Structure 1
Amino acid sequence: MNEVHLVEDGKAASKRSPLLWAILGVALVGVAAVLYVIVAASFKPHGPADLREFKKGTLEKLDVPANPRPAPDTVFTSLDGKPATLADFKGRVVVMNLWATWCAPCKAEMPTLAKLQAAYATQPVTVLPISVDRDSDLNLVQAEMAANSPLKTYRDPSYKLSFALEPKAGGFPTTVIYDRQGRERARMTGPADWSAPEVRGLVEKLLAEK
Structure 2
Amino acid sequence: MNDQSAAKPRGGVLTWALWGAAAIGVAAVVYIIAQSSTKPVTQGPAGTSGAVATAPPTHDVAKKLEHPADGSAPPAYVFLDDKGKKVTPADFKGKVVVMNLWATWCAPCKLEMPTLAKLAQAYAGKPVAVVAVSIDKADALEPAKAFIAANAPLSFYNDPDAKLPWALKPSANGMPTTIILGKDGLERGRISGEADWNGPGAKATIDKILAQG
Fold shared, TM-score > 0.5 on shorter chain:
yes
> What is the one-letter code of the residue matched to 2:193?
G
CA distance in 1, matches of 2:166, 2:125: 32
Aligned residue pairs: how many? 155
- Select 2:83's aligned residue among 80, 85, 99: 80
Structure 1, gaps ≥5 residues long:
1-55
* 1:72-125 superposed Cα distances (whole Å, 9 cap, x missing partner): 101000122110001100000000000001111100100000000000001000
Structure 2, gaps ≥5 residues long:
1-58
Aligned with 1:107: secondary structure?
helix
Structure 2 length-normalised TM: 0.70
CA distance in 1, matches of 2:189, 2:141: 29
CA distance in 2, matches of 1:66, 1:127: 20
CA contact (8 A) 2:112 2:197 kept: yes
> What is the one-letter code of the residue matched to 1:111?
P
CA distance in 1, matches of 2:163, 2:69: 25
Aligned with 1:96: secondary structure?
strand
Percent identity over the alignment?
51
- Corresponding residue for residue 169 of structure 2: 166
**Alpha carbons of 1:150 and 1:126: their partners in 2 closer, same or farther (altered >3 Å)?**
same
* 1:121-140 superposed Cα distances (whole Å, 9 cap, x missing partner): 01000000000001111110
CA contact (8 A) 1:65 1:185 kept: no
Aligned with 1:69: secondary structure?
coil
Shift of 1:157: 2.4
Instruction: Flag as ranges the 4+ runs of structure 1 deviating above 6 A.
Output: none
- Corresponding residue for residue 130 of structure 1: 133
Shift of 1:67: 4.1
Bigger fraction of residues in helix: 1
CA contact (8 A) 2:109 2:175 kept: yes
CA RMSD, 1 decimal: 1.4
Rg (Cα) greater in structure = 1
* 1:14-66 superposed Cα distances (whole Å, 9 cap, x missing partner): xxxxxxxxxxxxxxxxxxxxxxxxxxxxxxxxxxxxxxxxxx83442321247
CA contact (8 A) 2:75 2:167 kept: yes
- Corresponding residue for residue 113 of structure 2: 110
**Alpha carbons of 1:139 and 1:182: their partners in 2 closer, same or farther (altered >3 Å)?**
same
CA contact (8 A) 1:93 1:125 kept: yes
> What is the one-letter code of the residue matched to 2:87?
A
